[in-house]
Structure 1
């Protein structure tokens, strides 16, 4: 029976719920209620996600909805749970983890899970307060929608609500709750948890649930002699490889790629100390807590493979053969480079592969790294050059003019005989004008801390359609100010 069965007052969001993950049984979660926050207020809302959920157009006008999405009022028909998982953190086995501050309301009839992040303590909080601060909540809200706008698989965010309730981190901050949405929040760590505790029955139930819901083709495959669990591992590996290729192509640093932060659906999940690159530095470390540089930008593809190897170990009791499990990971090594080169070709306006493409891609990345050239601005200006033929705005980005000129000659020769207008259009659709730079997020956060949420709304509008020109918004697409380099982003949120 639901803990909420006795409630006489609950907010009706217009959503209808189905069992979803909760049907797996109590071994996988704890049923509990969010902890209320006083005097909640709206910080930001995504109408695009509201439409995805099928919410009515006036969904945000109700005080009951505001209270419910801050964890202060039950949601009609929902059965809130926190799930248990384990994982490797910074390469070290951390044991049992779980949803320490995220409480899932349930799965809608449309197949989307809705989760409140920052809604209070759970049995998996490990001494934490179960809260999220306004700073990190705004960052997650904006970046979730920014990644979707870029076409990169991600969890989504319906809204951020705030409260003046104090939260104690390095300093006292105010509380907030992010309403997150995804087809599934299952992570690699869910499988690691049951494997590490030799609970093979639960491990199989979880794998069967995920395969039947999200990877049904694995049931009828002839891969690996019809081994559905090996085919599942291969499919997850390939989705993860494609995701990492998109991260690397757009210059996105996740910052904390622990196995418990890896989505089984190949989604970008758990936005913490992330950053979009400003000046291109392959060795950039965006997480101030990552003193060893494990999650540096250029290490992300290898870390993803390492995490997949951990998943393979967890699935080994089901796969049954270590060699088969290792073989199921092999395609990562071809999918990632192929996907990455495909993304980079699109950024260069190339529709078909040719023998010299890899040196062309590697050449420009070396030039960008040598001069720490602003990554997003370079690609957008190169798109402009393809449109109007004016190379000076691009050339001005480089101190090594001779090196750039030599590369540009190769680039021009590669485009000989191509339709320049089509190439320019492909480049505009592949090279965003707007990304969520740290300083832009920081400015919106500081304004919101003073109860001015207009900056959040402005950034959201730009980031949801980042390839458009948005006349009048060029200031949001310019170079970062000098003080941006002093912003420190850590795991503390």
Structure 2
């Protein structure tokens, strides 16, 4: 469905706009020797990136080769943490190619970004985006971006085989580091010390079959409910008898696991209350949903910014228990009238 909207000239704000794609561009010129200063320009670009984004962790007195290897290591740490946290809060960048990947390791809101509502590992807010940039595929997209970044650094290390080998080890270790970050993140969302693969696989299946609101579900789970009653707030459909049973069985298994952590005879054992509070610190209660934003910017077009300011106030405290009025208005499932609506449920790349 095509929706006609007024255009706007907007300004993007970020700590820096140095992207992996830009480093790639300079590296391509250097490899092809497009002009006599191409290699020098690549080195200046990379050293500028280090000075601007990594000065606090990379010693300026080191050689260029040493700096480049440390840059790759630090960027890997930042990128794996960033993408794991995207998935943690339900964020999908939507168009996570190298030109939309900040070399400083932070989020650039380029493209049709959005937050997953009804859980779908292949959620993609952009109608033409395909699965390669989908919600659960973001770690793979990040790995591809990192490979391109490392390839762009290689010309600077051509005369240093030891540094090249270190760079290759850092590059090849990305997938393992990324998986470790994702598992640690989901363990935290579930209040576990370590992720139980079978339990998580079953949960993902149930969340798909029901279906379930990603944000509401994990927030309700953070209260460690006695039964599945409170979890129903996050369900977009009623359960049949079989699914009701399966959800109850899953909840029992999960509670048995977290109860095991509270009974462990260790110095790090936690009470259920402590586990719940820790879960609430990683499972936000409020996210920016498109069906909240659309009325706000439509109202703003008339000169009334009340909803914009209200949303700003709410979203600056996404983990907090806010007023009953705020909860009733913003802590709920997507209203049916916004389903399948162009500009809310689906967007073009430049939306």
Give the TM-score normalised by structure 1.
0.60
Aligned equivalents of 1:366 and 1:251: distance in 2? 17
The answer as to 2:99 corresponding to 1:297 is no
Match of 2:43 among 181, 189, 204: 204
Greater share of residues in helix? 2
Q: 1:445 to 1:484 in 2, by over 3 A?
A: farther
Note the C-alpha offset of 1:458.
0.8
The answer as to 2:70 corresponding to 1:231 is yes
Q: Look up the match of 1:403.
A: 246
Instruction: Check the 8 A contact 2:227/2:248 in 1, yes or no.
Output: no
Note the C-alpha offset of 1:220.
8.3
Instruction: Check the 8 A contact 1:204/1:318 in 2, yes or no.
Output: yes
Which whole-Å deviations, capped at 9, do the CAs of 1:46-91 have from their partners, x for residues lacking one? xxxxxxxxxxxxxxxxxxxxxxxxxxxxxxxxxxxxxxxxxxxxxx
Give the TM-score normalised by structure 2.
0.82
Give structure 2 stretches of 5+ with no counterpart: 31-37, 264-269
Which whole-Å deviations, capped at 9, do the CAs of 1:174-223 have from their partners, x for residues lacking one? 434336141x221112211211122111110111122234334444899x
Note the C-alpha offset of 1:326.
2.8
Two-structure CA RMSD over aligned residues (Å)? 2.5
Stretch of structure 1 that moved more, 169-178 or 278-287: 169-178
Stretch of structure 1 that moved more, 275-284 or 364-373: 364-373
Report the secondary structure of 2:72's partner residue.
helix
Q: Look up the match of 1:257.
A: 96
Which whole-Å deviations, capped at 9, do the CAs of 1:386-428 have from their partners, x for residues lacking one? 5xx4641215637311221221111111122240110111122
Aligned equivalents of 1:172 and 1:366: distance in 2? 38
Note the C-alpha offset of 1:337.
1.9
Q: 1:280 to 1:228 in 2, by over 3 A?
A: same
The answer as to 2:147 corresponding to 1:317 is no
Q: Look up the match of 2:22.
A: 190
Give structure 1 stretches of 5+ with no counterpart: 1-168
Q: Look up the match of 1:273.
A: 112
Match of 1:326 among 153, 168, 180: 168
The answer as to 2:317 corresponding to 1:479 is no
Note the C-alpha offset of 1:381.
1.2
Match of 2:287 among 431, 435, 453: 435
Bigger relative contact order, structure 1 or 2 (CA pairs below 8 A, ≥6 apart): 2
How many pairs align?
316
Instruction: Check the 8 A contact 1:439/1:484 in 2, yes or no.
Output: no
Instruction: Check the 8 A contact 2:94/2:124 in 1, yes or no.
Output: yes
